[in-house]
Structures are given as structure tokens and as C-alpha cells.
Structure 1
Amino acid sequence: MCIPKKICPVPYDQQPINEYASLKQSCFFAWSTFNIFRYIMNIWIIFCVLFFMCLPFTFSLVSVKQSLLETFLFNIILVTGFLLFIFIRLYLGWSYIVKRLVSASIFYEESGWYDGQIWIKTVDILTKDRLIGMYEVMPLISRIQYSFICTTICFALEISLYYLL
């Protein structure tokens, strides 16, 4: 997927299409590209793993006076908070990629922070990048946003329930 140096002076790892490919292959970001059933299963697995990992920490935080139900609810609140941070990180990663794919100009660094350049994409590359951005990355961002909203609603309900107990 590398664009020849004659056409694009941007280094290989800073080209938006290659940044997209590396993000899509990374372990953390790849599971957000799966089909909806596998995506929800991964969220559920992450939730369960975090639940059992945070359980000792939760038992050490809560007082002896609290019931077992309150302790488990506090643990669920803690895990849901971690999930919110995971969705924020997913959103930030994918939104950075879509911004670079859709943009007509690309900022890149040749060898360090002090020598940044701007490259204007050709029409063919811009068209290809925008198609990938709009039809492959934007649905992922919408899915992550929806997941974040649902998790935020659950988080608010959990906190409300915890204070009602």
C-alpha cells in the first residue's frame, strides 16, 4: 500500500493509509473492526476480566459495614469506568486516522519534530483515502460512540443505584 516517493514524500509509517492498516492490525484497535456479535462478545470478555481483576482491589477499598451487594455494585462501577476510558482511547485513535484520511493535506515529519512539512494529496490518493475514511472508519467511530453512550448511561444508572442502596 506504499505510495512511491515520486508521488508522495511522506514517510511510509506516516502515510494515512499505512497508519490505518497498522491501527487495524494492532491488538487493541482490531477488535473494534469485528462484526457486531464478536464486538459485543469482546466487550463482555473485557468486562468480565476487569471485574475479576478489580475484585480484590474493591474488597480492600470498601468498609466492612457494606453488604456484599454494595461491594459488587461498587466493583461494577469501577469496571464500567475502565470501559469508558477504553472507549475514549478507541475513539481518539480512530478519529485521528479518519481526520488524516479525509484531509486534503498531510502534515508529516521527515526526521524529527523540528522539520515538519505539509504535503497536498493528489486527486487519486485523496479519493481513495476519503472512501476508506467514510466507508470503513466512520462506521467504526459511530459504533464506538454508541458504545460509549450506552456505557455512560449504564455508569450513571449504576451510580444512582449504589447511592440508593
Structure 2
Amino acid sequence: MKDSSVQSCPVPDEQQPLKEYEQLKDSWFFRWATLESLPYWRKFAWVWLWGWIVVGPIAAASFPPQKHPFLFTLSGALGTSLLVALVLLRLYLGWYYIRDRLKSEKVFYEESGWYDGQIWQKPPEAIARDRLIVSYQIEPIMQRLRRTALILGILVGSGCLIWLSL
């Protein structure tokens, strides 16, 4: 049996905030934010390690590892942290977009193209349902991503302080 708010909804299926949320949480990349603690941190560790493939040669060209091993390691670590920060930013922006779509009382959608956008007022049941999803499902993810960004910022900041002290 379908929800009455969904039956009267003129928003195309793929643009409904609830469907967008389900697609996001099931997607390969955005699902990272929903993983248990160890697999979550393992994903970021893999990004950081694979980032060395890109950043390592640049760091080696700037600071030859034989002459300046500490500067090479520090510059490479800071460079790979930038890649981790970009991945983290992409995760955050994706979840932020869905959170805003679910929290909003009105939904913007396109009927057949960019030129004919419409706005749909959600019924009270849909607003309540969507806000519960935001409170209990998405906000913990957003907090986790903010904490991760804070930890990354502290690590990068301490790396920069070490760099300046050399």
C-alpha cells in the first residue's frame, strides 16, 4: 500500500527527496559515511595511501627522500591529506544536499527539463517523516563527517606547525 503523500506527489520519482536519500545511502561512495567505525576509517586510510601515488613523486621532486626524508614525508603527508579533504568535502556536500531537500517544506523539481521547474509543497505527514529521517539518520552522519574534518584539520594544522618550526 502506497503512502497517500507519495500518491499525490507530482515530483518525478527520481527527484523525490526520500528516493534521493535512499539512492544516496545505497551508493558505493556515499555509503562510506554510514559504515561502522573501523571500515569508515579504513576507507580514508586507503584514500590517503593511494594519494601517495600522486603526491609522492611531487614530494620527491621537491625534497629528495635521500637528502630530506623528514621534509619529504611531511610534504607528502600534507599533500595526501588534501586529497582526503576533497573526498571528505564531496561526502559532506552530498549528504548536506539531501538533508536540505528532506528538511525543506517545499521541493523544487523539474518536470521535463531545466526550463520548467516547479515547486511542490509537502503535506504535513511527509514533512514529519522527512524530518525524522534527518534527525535520526542524516544528522549523525553529518556530525561524523564534521568530526572527521576536525580531526583532519588538527592533523594538517599540526603538520603545518611542524613545517614552520623547521
Deviation (angstroms), 1:114? 1.3
User: Please, which moves more after superposition, 60-69 or 118-127?
Assistant: 60-69
User: How many angstroms apart in 1 are the aligned matches of 2:62 and 2:97?
Assistant: 37
- 1:60 CA drift (Å): 2.4
CA RMSD of aligned residues (A): 2.2
Where do 1:80-99 residues align within 5 Å?
80-99=81-100
Structure 1, unmatched stretches of 5+, are: none
* Cross-structure match for 1:61: 62
Divergent runs of 4+, >4 A: 1-6, 63-66
Q: Percent identity?
A: 32
Distance in 1 (alpha carbons) for counterparts of 2:90 and 2:48 = 16
Alpha carbons 2:47, 2:83 under 8 Å: kept: no
Per the alignment, in what secondary structure is the counterpart of residue 29 of structure 2? Answer: helix
Q: Give 1:20's aligned residue.
A: 21
In terms of mean alpha carbon deviation, does 25-34 or 138-147 score higher? 25-34
Residues 63, 69 of structure 2: 8 Å contact kept? no
Is the contact between residue 55 and residue 76 of structure 2 (CA under 8 Å) also seen in structure 1? Answer: yes
- The 8 Å contact of residues 63 and 72 in structure 2, kept in 1 or not, is answered as yes
The 1:15/1:127 distance shift into structure 2, 3 A limit, reads same
Where do 5+ consecutive residues of structure 2 fail to align?
none
Name the counterpart of 1:128.
129
How far apart are the structure 2 equivalents of 1:25 and 1:6? 24
Instruction: Report the CA distance shift for 1:101/1:64 in structure 2 as closer, same or farther (over 3 A).
Output: closer
1:12-35, Cα deviation, whole Å (9 max, x unpaired) = 111001111111122211111111
1:105 is aligned to 106
Matches within 5 A, 1:42-61: 42-61=43-62
Equivalent residue of 1:114, what SS?
coil
Change (3 A) 1:145 1:86: same
Aligned residues: 165
Give the partner amino acid of 2:114.
W
Question: Deviations for 1:3-53, whole angstroms, at most 9, x for unmatched residues?
Answer: 887410001111001111111122211111111222112222221221244
Structure-2-length-normalised TM-score: 0.89
* In structure 2, distance between residues paired with 1:3 and 1:25: 25
Contact preservation (8 Å) 2:74, 2:159: yes
TM-score, length-normalised on structure 1? 0.90
Letter in 1 for 2:69: L
Partners of 1:3 and 1:88 in 2: how far apart?
Answer: 36
